[in-house]
A = this chain, B = another copy of it.
């Protein structure tokens, strides 16, 4: 059961001028499933992306990196579900390239103007022929108001589609930022998550896009984890069609740049949090905030240790305030000179531990009250500096095991 998440209504998703999305059933893995999405971009559009740090990166990720290295001008994106085309060696690269070439031919583009994405089972041969056969139908279906349909077509074990949209005023013009994402398991993005796409019609110098996509990823997709498994296919794209008609943004620090930046980050965070809310088997949405660190990196390290602990995650599932498990995770997070006698632990407003031990006023019933909530904030103060970091995660339930034990059956 997703935690405080509902499917986006099509009318909530503002179209982005210059972006059209078309969907079809290509029968990649199963019949009668909308599994192929083609996104076309108006000429002049720019794209920047961040990708998985998994050394076993999928063929489409390798090709995206190669095509983006040729420059930010892109015209089309092709996304299939049902097959990740990862762990497929040289053959996987050949097949992913053939899909780009086929789409480029039909749209009269160069193959380098196409970016391919795949998600699904690892180490199976990509049925490139079926994908190629589906391209004409997907192209024919392309419309600016198909964001909700695309959000649905890129799902795998997701139970709900994920999309977010907002508008800001820049230079007297309305600028739109709309995006979609997918992912529910194998989620511990270390660049971006398994498929996030955010598009804007803002007029912005293409050289600023890479900086913006990296910052947005660092503040959204790179701050979530479900099971600690960094995927082979994580990809997050930021697309700008430059159609909004305002004067070009030449600096992210300008008022106009800041307005766009803030909208892009907000949409990215909403999309990233939606992935956690729909995490495989999730029943709780948990914010882990670590404060008082010497640097951000050690705060993240502690936050991830808590977020990945199966014992902490099962305690949340059980609504059991077995909170010593959180202290144990803080202790093994890898900070060699951590002084346990300084640690404070809070569960929402409840002060659980002080100076590394149980707080004298802490009562089990207060811990139980918070643990029963669907959304919980864990706050740890290390008291050794003034830096902080936040990570979002979910609990570990029976359904996680069921879903992942049955995924391919």
Chain A residues within CB distance 8 Å of chain B: 53-57, 84, 86-92, 121-125, 185-186, 188, 190, 227-232, 308-311, 314-315, 317-318, 320, 322-325, 327-333, 335-336, 338-341, 343, 353, 355-358, 396-398, 400-402, 404-409
Contacts and interface: CB of A to CB of B under 8 A. Distances in A.
A405 B396 CA distance: 9
B328 A122 contact: yes
B358 A228 contact: no
Contacts of A335: 55
Contact of A357 (B88, B340, B357): B88
B332 A190 contact: yes
A103 to B, nearest CB: 24
Which one of A314, A315, A318 has the greatest number of beta carbons of chain B within 10 Å? A314
B398 A336 contact: no
Number of copies: 2
A331 B57 contact: yes
A56 B89 CA distance: 44
Contact of A405 (B57, B320, B408): B320
Given A327-B122, A358-B89, A401-B396, A406 B318 contact: yes
A310 B394 CA distance: 14
Contacts of A408: 320, 322
B227 A311 contact: yes
B55 A324 contact: no
Contacts of A55: 330-333, 335-336, 338-340
Contacts of A333: 55
Contacts of A398: 398, 401-402
A384 to B, nearest CB: 12
B357 A324 contact: no
Nearest to A335: B55
A97 to B, nearest CB: 15
A401 B327 contact: no
Given A55-B331, A358-B123, A310 B228 contact: yes
Given A89-B358, A227-B310, A315 B123 contact: no
Nearest to A358: B123
A358 B317 contact: no
Contacts of A53: 332
A321 to B, nearest CB: 9
Given A87-B357, A89-B355, A404-B310, A331 B397 contact: no
